[in-house]
Chains A and B, each alone.
Chain A
Amino acid sequence: MTRFAHSMLLLVIAACNTNEPPVPSSQQATALLGKTYISPGAGADTLNFTRNPYEGDPAAVTQGKQFYTWYNCHSCHGTLGGGGMGPPLLDAQWIYGGDPVSIFESILEGRPNGMPTWRGRIPDDQAWKIVAYVQSLQKNPAAISQPSRVQNP
């Protein structure tokens, strides 16, 4: 009986933890990244690109897909990142960088050839989730974290 109670307790505690790690703000990310990819002189290897805190997190990817639709990303880039008015997001060609922080920056800063700037309109937390969804588009459909909920058929 006690073992049962203990395992129940553990389950309850686990359920309460909704895995929301602290999120680096865009200002932090910028400070960590710097604006250049080539670092002349020695020391380039010590640059620490921050990872997307939600990378691979299925719940975040699902929510990211929802935001991706709400903010009309799908209408320029395609629901599955196939492209259109904007460049595709499912291939390996990235005009402004394909690592998570670059994608995050592209969303918030906007880009010169028509990517709108979303800073102040999409909160950082939601932007990271969108990045997580975009990252999930890169993989084959048989990926580990694909949004499972089909929106309102």
Chain B
Amino acid sequence: MTPSALDPRGHGADVIAQLWWVLLALCTLVALITLAALVYAALRPRPNWQRPTAEQDRGPTRAIVYAGIVGPVIILAGLFVYVLSALGALSVPADSPYSIVVTGYQWWWDVRYRFPNQADGFRTANELRIPVGRRVRVDLESFDVIHSFWVPQLHGKIDLIPGRKNEIWLQANEPGVYRGQCAEFCGLQHTRMAFHVVALEPAEFDAWLMQQRRPAPEPRTAAEQHGRVTYESHGCAICHAIQGTTSRGIVAPDLTHVASRMYLAAGTIPTTRGHMAGWISDPQHVKPGVNMPRVPLDPDELNNLVTWLLTLR
């Protein structure tokens, strides 16, 4: 699954892709015509060239005026109208009562679902889920530098600029997983700042919402209990947040449902036991320069911690 803007799966990307193909076709045609003319002009035999008379010149002049000025004006005017209508198709308002607030951090995405009743909201990271067929509003802010939000199969790029709110909507035509990427150079790990948009059928989406609203489950086994203690005593609790514990940091991803997400480290590694352990034990190895520090843990602590984190579905 290599996401391509030319493989559109959502309304926004449809419009953009269509625009792209039309432009490509038109420009190719014009290029071919121009090239043909050029080739013809370069290769036609010209024995004893003499300055053309006004009479002889009329034809070519007319050709230049029609093919070189009138023609392009008409084509470009037509294109202009078409582009305007495409922009119009893209600027219809969103039709979701809730909005997703995405805040760009170096180098991960903070995702907050905001509902009219604020008790229904919740926080996650690096993964957005939307229902199929709805235009879901996404508000974009940045915590530090300029990032750019780009899900090629669903829409175009839009920047996240510190101190400013930008807005976009996403609509998916069919269920699926669509990869997104930061599209504005933002520092050392810009290339590993990916995210995923998962489009679900409405019923599945509602079930996911309910799940995300629940706080983290209590640890059941001794290993899980030790894992949670490790989390709280080693400084993880200060930067991260887990609903249902006293951990409420905002400078790192919310981990309340980390095990329900498909990827870790902003789309860099899949959420498996081995990858998670590797990430925690040495984040600098996976993403050098990232802000998550390497915290020395002994093997038991690491195992228990991962066991517990994987219960946070």
A and B interact physically:
yes
A contact set with B: CB distance below 8 Å: 18, 66, 70-71, 118, 120-123, 125-126, 149, 151-153
A153-B162 contact given A70-B239, A70-B251, A123-B235, CB 8 Å threshold? yes
Q: Which residues of A contact B144 (CB under 8 A)?
A: 149, 151-152
Q: Which residues of B contact A126 (CB under 8 A)?
A: 293
Q: Are B235 and A122 in contact (CB under 8 A)?
A: yes
**Cα separation A118 to B145 with both chains bound (whole Å):** 28
- What are 12 residue pairs bridging A and B, where the CB atoms are less than 8 Å apart in the complex? A18-B289, A118-B235, A120-B234, A121-B234, A123-B235, A123-B295, A126-B293, A149-B145, A152-B142, A152-B143, A152-B163, A153-B163
Q: Which residues of A contact B163 (CB under 8 A)?
A: 152-153
Q: Which residues of B contact A121 (CB under 8 A)?
A: 234-235, 238
Q: Are A125 and B293 in contact (CB under 8 A)?
A: yes
The reply to whether the CB of B214 lies closer than 8 angstroms to some CB of chain A is: no
Main secondary structure of the interface of A (DSSP, over half): loop
In the A-B complex, list the 9 residue pairs whose CB atoms are closest, starting with the nearest: A121-B235, A123-B293, A70-B251, A152-B162, A153-B163, A126-B293, A121-B238, A120-B234, A123-B295
Q: Are A120 and B162 in contact (CB under 8 A)?
A: no
Q: In chain B, what residue has the closest Cβ to A122?
A: B235
Q: Which of B227-260 contact A (CB under 8 A)?
A: 233-235, 238-239, 251
Main secondary structure of the interface of B (DSSP, over half): loop
Q: In chain B, what residue has the closest Cβ to A72?
A: B238
CB distance from B280 to the nearest CB of A (A): 13
Q: In chain B, what residue has the closest Cβ to A119?
A: B235
Q: Which of B270-300 contact A (CB under 8 A)?
A: 289, 291, 293-295
Interface size on B, residues (CB 8 A): 17
Q: In chain B, what residue has the closest Cβ to A124?
A: B293
Q: CB within 8 A of B235: which of A66, A120, A125, A149?
A: A120
CB distance from B126 to the nearest CB of A (A): 19
Q: Are A120 and B233 in contact (CB under 8 A)?
A: yes
Q: Which of B94-145 contact A (CB under 8 A)?
A: 142-145
**Cα separation A22 to B233 with both chains bound (whole Å):** 26
Q: Which residues of B contact A125 (CB under 8 A)?
A: 293-294
Q: Which residues of A contact B145 (CB under 8 A)?
A: 149
CB distance from A27 to the nearest CB of B (A): 11
Q: In chain A, what residue has the closest Cβ to B106?
A: A66
Q: Which residues of A contact B239 (CB under 8 A)?
A: 70
Q: Which residues of A contact B291 (CB under 8 A)?
A: 66
**Cα separation A97 to B94 with both chains bound (whole Å):** 58
**Cα separation A153 to B144 with both chains bound (whole Å):** 9
**Cα separation A122 to B142 with both chains bound (whole Å):** 25
**Cα separation A121 to B235 with both chains bound (whole Å):** 4
Q: In chain B, what residue has the closest Cβ to A152?
A: B162
CB distance from B165 to the nearest CB of A (A): 12
CB distance from B294 to the nearest CB of A (A): 7
Q: Which residues of B contact A122 (CB under 8 A)?
A: 235
Q: Which of B141-157 contact A (CB under 8 A)?
A: 142-145
**Cα separation A152 to B238 with both chains bound (whole Å):** 21
CB distance from A113 to the nearest CB of B (A): 22
**Given A66-B291, A120-B234, A149-B145: 10 more A-B contacts, CB < 8 Å:** A121-B238, A122-B235, A123-B293, A123-B295, A125-B293, A151-B144, A152-B142, A152-B143, A152-B163, A153-B162
Q: Which residues of B contact A71 (CB under 8 A)?
A: 238
**Cα separation A70 to B293 with both chains bound (whole Å):** 13
Q: Which residues of A contact B162 (CB under 8 A)?
A: 152-153
Q: Which residues of A contact B235 (CB under 8 A)?
A: 118, 120-123
